[in-house]
Structure 1
Amino acid sequence: MIPLDLTAQGAVDIFLGSVRDGFVQVSAFVAVTVLIFGYLQYRTGGRVVRFLENNEHLQPLAGGLLGLTPGCGGAIVAMPLYIRGTISFGTVVATLAATAGDSAFVILALAPEAAVYAYVMAFVSGVLFGYAIDFWGLGVGRVDRAVERISRPMTDGGFATTSVAAGGPSVAGFEMDDGGHDHERNTSGFMAKFTHGVHVVWWAVALAGLTAGVLYLARGAPEVPFEYGPTFFGLFTVAGLVGTTLSFYLHFFGRRFIGEGDAGRIRETYTDAYDTFQHAAMETSMVTVWVIGAYLVYEYGVALLSIDIAALAAAAGVLAPLAGAALGLIPGCAPQIVFAGLYAEGAIPFSALVGNAISQDGDALFPLMAIDMKAAIIATIYTTIPAAIVGVAVHYFWPYAQFGFGVIG
């Protein structure tokens, strides 16, 4: 039941707000970054993936660079590579630890100096920790063996998993998508044409959402009322609601007709530029479903439990970076975006921002959760370790570091 202090109208507002904000604040940016990496894969004929396969010693470094890309697109690209067995588990952790997430856009816009320091620390600590995991074999297989000594083996919904660091792909039998379509799907006829039309409209809406998202950050991330007229607020609202609706259609229904959308796959090659756009749209639509779910859980949780993130983040002393690291355990970007806004307002110390920057996995964790829940859980726990260490170190050795306070009122 909805408590007395959360009315039915309030519940509806939270739902619509989450559906709208999730697409504009997250999915539109994810779409662009996934498209960029997909297009790079298309233009190079798959040489990027083959380079990673042939240079294992560079994988955590490459993962850190992917994660350092603002938004979650680069890190999202890396997750299927682990599932396929191309990169190591240490590379996954390095990628997630370095992931700037969509909160990076808030910090870059409102406190750019803080972004440089925080994300460089996240990159360095993530890469070092990733190499350590691969060197000492601290992958999923090692955790499984430890658990077996004290209880029944962990399960992840039926997949047999091992660590790449210990040898073998995370999910047995998972293969790289060769770019072909599933012939059992109805990829011709009216519904296929209709779905391709939806795909084209989806990109137009994504472009409108990206425009609204950039303007949103340029205006200092203000509260956005629901409007439907020819204004910035109207663009934000319409693009968000329509974009999420189209994303849900593409993910749950459209993939039956255009032969795309398998969660967590990366294509070896693309037939043409349109194929690249289509795959990016379907991948982003899958992420959107998870993002909206995370937004709803977070927003309703805050409302029902009366959670005050500002109060938690402003914890005194060494608890601040630990609170930031703990908040990063929550998948998705919703709480991290709020956290970034609080920093820009001067409500939390820099050490807390650093802890959160390292710990947060952004939306990149969702593709991994969809295929290998066990690896996702272990990876997000692992990223919290360097987050706590570095965050506490900043608190004690750089206590007066403050960047960007008072940027917004």
Structure 2
Amino acid sequence: KHTVMVTFFVFVMMLLVDFFNVATKGRISDIMKGGRWRQYTLASFLGATPGCLGAFMNVTLYVHGMISFGAIVGGMIATSGDESFVMLAQFPGTALLLFGILFVCGIIFAWLSDHAIKVLRIATCESCLESECEEYLAHKDEDEKIREIFKFNNLSKNIRSLSFTRFLLFLLIGSFLLLVILGIIGSTKWDWKRMTFVGLALFSLYIIGLASEHYLHAHIWEHIIKRHLFRVFLWTFGALFFVHWGLAFWNLDVFIKQHMMWVLLIGALIGVIPESGPHLIFVMMFAEGLIPFSVLFTTSFVQDGHGMLPMLSYSIKDSVLIKLFNLAFGLAIGGGLFYLGL
């Protein structure tokens, strides 16, 4: 039940982020044209937005020579990948605080990174206007307009010619809504959590009802559900399973408390993996009170979901440099917080 609730929350948040991404298409690059501090701030802001879309955008801007090496380092520091949605579902207050701290760290360490490569005389790759990042970003030729995608007139047309994909999404989200209303999953009382999930389910049904067929397939089904959601579901279930049975049979809490410094180091090293999922184990351990904020901060600082995957296809050297900078900075700040008892 817990896994279903978290996965649904992630789905709706991804819908909102994708909606915003489509609505602001083409404007981000114009805003980026400015001084270094503007680049640092906006790259970190894009990174701090939940999910990996901001990280993908930063890679595209870097590949096209629109932001500096330091700016993309800062953007990746601020990025928490798909795990950010899970953190918002599990501990929203702490998650927002963490995102804010990572945003500020992204700006500061972006500046430090640009100075470091200058002092150390590290050569980074030149921009490549021919390079394409993850296919999800390559919507330059789309002539979709946000008003066309979500016309209210689309509703009657979509219902009359109901596609199997739309029917399946209606069925799944409608079933979830019914289970929440009946109190079978989620809160059994009509508190703010239950009302929030009902509202999110209704919002999802509204978007699916209005969305054009292309948007439904390309954005919601092919990208959000097939490329992200199933993986989030499996990793969330696996992390919850690991923490639950670890506490029940393996004295996981005792082991972690006795080896906390090693847990912090392992968390940082796992953060190097360019993938959303492994970090969820640390998210769930923090939610259960097994690890302190400093460990969660370190893993969040170093990891960037699969935001680095497009970068690997462009330049392995730059990808390794970005990860090394993030790992060094993350261990330094995270270790300091741990030493302070946070």
TM-score above 0.5, yes or no: yes
| Residue-pair matches, total | 284
Looking at structure 1, the residues matched to 73 and 58 of structure 2 have their Cα atoms a distance apart, in angstroms, of 11
Return the match for 2:227 from 284, 288, 296. Answer: 288
Q: Please report how far the alpha carbon of residue 323 of structure 1 lies from its aligned counterpart in structure 2 after TM superposition.
A: 2.6
CA contact (8 A) 1:343 1:350 kept: yes
State yes or no: 1:174 paired with 2:158: no
TM-score by length of 2: 0.63
- The equivalent residue for 1:90 is 70
Q: Please report how far the alpha carbon of residue 21 of structure 1 lies from its aligned counterpart in structure 2 after TM superposition.
A: 11
Distance 1:129 1:95, change over 3 A: same
- The equivalent residue for 2:310 is 367
- The equivalent residue for 2:190 is none
Return the match for 1:343 from 266, 279, 286. Answer: 286
Distance 1:118 1:178, change over 3 A: closer
State yes or no: 1:355 paired with 2:298: yes
Distance 1:180 1:318, change over 3 A: closer
- The equivalent residue for 1:60 is 40
State yes or no: 1:39 paired with 2:9: no
Distance 1:101 1:208, change over 3 A: farther
CA contact (8 A) 1:321 1:352 kept: yes
Looking at structure 1, the residues matched to 225 and 60 of structure 2 have their Cα atoms a distance apart, in angstroms, of 13
- Cα distance per residue 1:94-131 (max 9 Å; x no partner): 11111133323333333334324433332222221112
**Greater mean deviation of Cα atoms: 21-30 or 119-128:** 21-30
**Greater mean deviation of Cα atoms: 27-36 or 352-361:** 27-36
Distance 1:113 1:21, change over 3 A: closer
CA contact (8 A) 2:51 2:80 kept: yes
Looking at structure 2, the residues matched to 205 and 86 of structure 1 have their Cα atoms a distance apart, in angstroms, of 44
Amino acid of the structure 1 residue aligned with 2:44: G
CA contact (8 A) 2:47 2:55 kept: yes
CA contact (8 A) 1:64 1:123 kept: yes
Looking at structure 2, the residues matched to 375 and 211 of structure 1 have their Cα atoms a distance apart, in angstroms, of 45
Q: Please report how far the alpha carbon of residue 356 of structure 1 lies from its aligned counterpart in structure 2 after TM superposition.
A: 1.0
CA contact (8 A) 1:22 1:291 kept: no
Looking at structure 2, the residues matched to 40 and 384 of structure 1 have their Cα atoms a distance apart, in angstroms, of 32
State yes or no: 1:326 paired with 2:269: yes
CA contact (8 A) 1:25 1:102 kept: no
Distance 1:211 1:384, change over 3 A: farther
Distance 1:180 1:349, change over 3 A: closer
Distance 1:30 1:382, change over 3 A: farther
CA contact (8 A) 2:294 2:338 kept: yes
CA contact (8 A) 1:369 1:376 kept: yes
Q: Please report how far the alpha carbon of residue 207 of structure 1 lies from its aligned counterpart in structure 2 after TM superposition.
A: 6.7
- The equivalent residue for 2:154 is none
CA contact (8 A) 1:26 1:333 kept: no
Q: Please report how far the alpha carbon of residue 173 of structure 1 lies from its aligned counterpart in structure 2 after TM superposition.
A: 2.6
Looking at structure 2, the residues matched to 57 and 318 of structure 1 have their Cα atoms a distance apart, in angstroms, of 35
Distance 1:376 1:35, change over 3 A: farther
- The equivalent residue for 1:132 is 112
- Cα distance per residue 1:65-121 (max 9 Å; x no partner): 112222333223322222232222222211111113332333333333432443333
CA contact (8 A) 1:64 1:127 kept: yes
**Identity rate, percent:** 23
Q: Please report how far the alpha carbon of residue 52 of structure 1 lies from its aligned counterpart in structure 2 after TM superposition.
A: 0.5
Distance 1:111 1:177, change over 3 A: closer
SS of structure 2 residue aligned to 1:362: coil
Return the match for 1:76 from 53, 56, 61. Answer: 56
Q: Please report how far the alpha carbon of residue 36 of structure 1 lies from its aligned counterpart in structure 2 after TM superposition.
A: 1.3
- The equivalent residue for 2:336 is 393
Distance 1:103 1:367, change over 3 A: same
1:106-121 matches, cutoff 5 A: 106-121=86-101
Looking at structure 2, the residues matched to 210 and 67 of structure 1 have their Cα atoms a distance apart, in angstroms, of 31
SS of structure 2 residue aligned to 1:137: helix
Amino acid of the structure 1 residue aligned with 2:22: G
CA contact (8 A) 1:34 1:74 kept: no
CA contact (8 A) 1:31 1:281 kept: yes
SS of structure 2 residue aligned to 1:334: coil
